[in-house]
Structure 1
Amino acid sequence: MGRGAGLKMVLGPADCLYLTHPQVRIDPDVPVPDWSLSEKGLGRARLGLLRPEFASLGHIVSSGERKAIETAAVFADRFGLELVVDDLMHENDRSSTGFLPPEEFERVADAFFGSPHTSVRGWERACDAQARIVDRVAVHLERIPEDEWVLFVGHGGVGTLLKCHLGGWAIDRRHDQPAGGGFFYSFARQALQERNAPAPDLAWRPVDR
């Protein structure tokens, strides 16, 4: 199947997409950045190939974490695109705690978003993670022609921080993606400087339906 065959759509004012990886194989004995997609997560990513929003992609940039690369590869392979991997687009650095049980993780994540200028249990500060992801997106957009669509593939935490920046909103977990991952939003590259992306564009949408 050729790139975007049968799915070409009329593009709106947005020209960028940010997609989070879907479900992963959780293994407490493996560093979180090395987790891979579960069968469910891989299946959901493949269903994303049917969504018209991805049909006109010209570039794909992924975080260097395995689960993000595996998600991005689904689209790069199908559409015949080079996959650019950027290790600085990783999720917020949580290496100080490593794997946390779900309930404990949720409490620490709440504190991470709730105190963005404080390092919670040694985690990377939310304000620093936001500055990092905004900078990396800007670096890639500088090299990509303005009339070509870009898919950034990454993570829920930094994706939410980028979303807050694009919308001109204070960092707040209420802008986080739904549980499970595998959600995306769209934005125009100008919003990276102007911080005025429309809220409907920034609404999280599931990759698989």
Structure 2
Amino acid sequence: MIGYYLTHPQVVIDPAVPTPQWPLSSEGRHRTEAILGKAWLKTLRRIVSSGERKAIDTASIIAAAAGLDVEIDARMGENDRSSTGFLEPAAFEAAADCFFAEPETSWNGWERAVDAQARIVEAVDGVLAAHPPDTPILFTGHGAVGSLLKTHLAGRAISRREDQPGGGGNIFAFALSGRALLCDWTPMESFEGPGDDR
């Protein structure tokens, strides 16, 4: 069966609020609500979310429609960028370039990419260790750690090329048995199941 990793869509950006506490924006909520009729969502039997509000918001919308609970795993949080706080978009993109380009180096105190990757892989493996391999599951989280997880599943090197397109609201799928990547990042609205990116 299949595991899915979905990144939260658009959020309310507020420099005065720590990023883990940012909620989904109305656009982000609308995008999530718009996919609730998808056939792949109706197969889900479990939803596990990062502990950050935007990921929980995303998971909660889907869980309510599916009649499921949301489980929280704090290890699924986004890469720790608290050392710098909020960065304007251009500065953030430059920092993200450095984060992916030098995965064994901390950029201005950020969590290293290799450490963030080890953490997200440990989180997903930990959840799946006691999860039936014939039961579809959704993980809701974030772009950077999601990209690091995808890179690991694909057996590829950490690179910004693996990052999600468009800034949020993307999904990939992987086999629960063997942990093989089944498809690359796909916008949530156009995702119909593994292989739809071919």
Is 1:56 aligned to 2:43, yes or no? yes
SS in 2 for 1:19: strand
Alpha carbons 2:133, 2:177 under 8 Å: kept: no
Alpha carbons 1:163, 1:202 under 8 Å: kept: no
Q: CA offsets, 1:124-175, max 9 Å, x none?
A: 0000000000000001011211110000000000000000000000000101
SS in 1 for 2:58: helix
Alpha carbons 1:117, 1:127 under 8 Å: kept: yes
Q: CA offsets, 1:55-88, max 9 Å, x none?
A: 2000000000000000000111111111101111
Report the equivalent of 1:82.
69
Note the C-alpha offset of 1:26: 0.3
Between the aligned partners of 2:37 and 2:165, the Cα distance in structure 1 is 21
Note the C-alpha offset of 1:52: 1.9
Is 1:111 aligned to 2:93, yes or no? no
Between the aligned partners of 1:180 and 1:69, the Cα distance in structure 2 is 18
Report the equivalent of 1:189.
176
Alpha carbons 1:51, 1:207 under 8 Å: kept: no
Is 1:129 aligned to 2:110, yes or no? no
Alpha carbons 1:47, 1:207 under 8 Å: kept: no
Q: CA offsets, 1:89-140, max 9 Å, x none?
A: 1000000001000000000000000000000110000000000000000010
Is 1:93 aligned to 2:80, yes or no? yes
> Gaps spanning 5+ residues in structure 1: where?
1-13
Note the C-alpha offset of 1:190: 3.4
Note the C-alpha offset of 1:206: 1.3
Note the C-alpha offset of 1:205: 1.3
Between the aligned partners of 1:82 and 1:121, the Cα distance in structure 2 is 38
Which amino acid in structure 2 is aligned with residue 29 of structure 1? A
Which amino acid in structure 2 is aligned with residue 108 of structure 1? A
> Gaps spanning 5+ residues in structure 2: where?
191-198
Q: What is the correspondence of 1:2-81 to structure 2 with a 5 Å cutoff?
A: 14-81=1-68
SS in 2 for 1:170: coil
TM-score normalized by the length of structure 1: 0.88
Is 1:205 aligned to 2:192, yes or no? no
Cα 1:59/1:118, change in 2 over 3 Å: same
Which of 149, 166, 184 aligns to 1:179? It is 166
Between the aligned partners of 2:171 and 2:42, the Cα distance in structure 1 is 14
Note the C-alpha offset of 1:189: 2.2
Between the aligned partners of 1:202 and 1:166, the Cα distance in structure 2 is 11
